[in-house]
Amino acid sequence: MHGEKMSSDESSASKFKDKLKRYLDEEGYDEDFIYNADETGLKWKTLPKRTLASRAEDASAGCKASKGVTVMICANSSGTHSIPLLVIGKSKKPKCFKHAKNLPVVYRSQKKAWMNGVIFMGWFENTFIPEVKKFQHLTGKSGNVLLLTDNAPPHPSTQSLNSVDETVEVIFLPPNVIPLRQPMDQGVIENLKRLYRKQILRHLLLTKDRSVQSVLDFYKTIILKDCCYMIADSWSSIKQFTLRNSWNNIFVHRKLNATPGLGNTDMEMKELLDGLKAVSLSSECEEADAEMWLSCDRDDPGFQIFGDDEIIEAVSNVDNEMDEDTDIGECCVRKSCLRQDTT
């Protein structure tokens, strides 16, 4: 059955790619105006397991290593334009943002730091479209815009999205087709998170005596505002060829430059372990621990995934949950989940 499923997926993926190619050719889309958006969860305050500081961190009251946000990344197929990151946290008005006038990211809140339909639509209308229009103005180019994304439960319907601007079209990738991973999930998200965690390490290297306690004390001072600046800096550090080549799985009809390895090379891991040792973090930390740290949130989609029973229960209780603390977008997402599972 597994082989049959893979064969079916390959066939479905091939049909979609051919159909997409014909559509792009017919409509004449410029590769500068074809975008992909994908969200992912980010554990922004973690340290490798089996390190001296992580043990002290785990034992420290009030220090939560599992703090997480959701990050939406979006870039065009030529790799020439990256949309500012959307970061979703739990707090509506983080105290650390009080004196931050111009954050390098777009920040939104949701009680569990998840993506929902309201946030996605707001991002689409108020960030994506204006940023694309600005890019077109700066480059002196014009044309219709295509956004490819998946049909994850938090995403509004294509009908809703396509009613916003007649020059911007949204197409969902076919669901549950393994070979059709989104371009941003073809090494870009992984690269972004690795660059971010290297920045965490560089910040820890700034401690004075680099003792375990000194490192831990400094680590505790890293706040959500720092996360926003570091993830934005990491995003701006991703190379054009990395963004462009991530589309190879979708655009099989164009020749792309070979993509250099995104990580896990011997040299990269040696540099990482050397850095951990330099800040007294590598008592028993091995390469596997460091690799686990780099990929600890690889499978976090940035939104809640309901099981069948949870979906039915959630939808049946929507009316009872609509109090002043209820996120309306979340309730809409729950209904969307049920519709998609029953169609």
d(CA 110, CA 126): 17
pLDDT level of residue 291 (50, 70, 90 thresholds): low
What confidence tier does 75 reach under pLDDT thresholds 50, 70, 90? very high
Pick the range with the lowest mean pLDDT from 20-24, 61-65, 186-190. 61-65
pLDDT tens-digit profile of 223-235? 999 999 999 999 9
Query: How far apart are the C-alpha atoms of 200 and 83, rounded to whole Å?
Result: 23
Q: How confident is the model at residue 295 (pLDDT cuts 50, 70, 90)?
A: low
The per-residue pLDDT for range 235-271, each reduced to its tens digit, is 999 999 999 999 988 885 455 454 444 444 566 667 7
Distance CA 32, CA 75 (A): 9
pLDDT given for residue 266 in this prediction: 61
The more confident residue out of 309 and 1 is: 309
DSSP notation for 291-325: HHHHTTTTT--SS----HHHHHHHHHTHHHH-STT
Q: Which of 75-79, 95-99, 291-295, 303-307 has the highest mean pLDDT?
A: 75-79
Neighbours of 220 (CB within 10 A): 13
249-264 b/e with 16+ CB inside 10 Å = b?
A: bbbeeeeeeeeeebbe
163 pLDDT more than 50: yes
Mean pLDDT computed over 64-93: 91
User: Residues of the chain with pLDDT > 90: what percent?
Assistant: 44
Cα distance between residue 131 and residue 69, in whole Å: 23
Task: Give mean pLDDT, residues 150-174.
Answer: 95
Reference 238, options 202, 192, 269; nearest CA is: 192
What pLDDT, on a 0 to 100 scale, did the predictor assign at position 126? 98
pTM: 0.78
Question: Chain-wide mean pLDDT for the chain?
Answer: 77
Higher-scoring residue by pLDDT: 94, 291: 94
* 115 backbone dihedrals φ, ψ, rounded to 5°: -70, 145
Nearest to 78 by CA among 35, 38, 31: 31
pLDDT mean over 88-93: 94
76 pairs with which residues across the strands?
35
Higher-confidence residue: 284 or 20? Answer: 20
pLDDT of residue 321: 36
DSSP string, 191-231: HHHHHHHHHHHHHHTTSSS--HHHHHHHHHT--HHHHHHHH
Is the Cβ–Cβ distance between 40 and 295 less than 8 Å? no
From CA 192, how far away is CA 197, in angstroms rounded?
Answer: 9
Element (H, E) at 120: helix 117-123
Decide which of 52 and 197 is more confident: 197
DSSP secondary-structure letter at 249?
A: G
- CB neighbourhood size of 223 (10 A): 15
* Residue 182 pLDDT exceeds 80: yes
Confidence bin at 49 (pLDDT 50/70/90): low
Mean pLDDT to the nearest integer, 116-137 = 98
Task: Please indicate whether residue 194 or residue 158 has the higher confidence score (pLDDT).
Answer: 158
pLDDT at 315 over 50: no
Q: Which amino acid is at 299?
A: D
Average pLDDT for residues 86-100, to the nearest whole number? 92
Q: With cut-offs at 50, 70 and 90, classify the pLDDT of residue 141.
A: very high
Each as own residue / partner, the long-range contacts of residues 233-241 (CB below 8 Å, 24 or more positions apart, any chain) are 233/104, 233/199, 234/192, 234/195, 234/196, 234/199, 235/73, 235/82, 235/85, 235/192, 236/82, 237/195, 238/82, 238/188, 238/191, 238/192, 238/195, 239/79, 240/78, 240/79, 240/80, 241/79
Query: Which helix H or strand E contains 145, and what residues bound it?
Result: strand 145-149
**pLDDT over 60 at 343, yes or no:** no
With a CB cutoff of 8 Å and minimum separation 6, the contacts of 145 are 33, 34, 35, 129, 132, 167, 168, 169
**Number of Cα atoms under 13 Å in the Cβ half of residue 216:** 19
Question: CA-CA distance, 122 to 129, in Å (whole number)?
Answer: 10
Confirm if 127 and 79 have CB atoms less than 8 A apart.
no
> How many Cα neighbours within 13 Å face the side chain of 265?
8
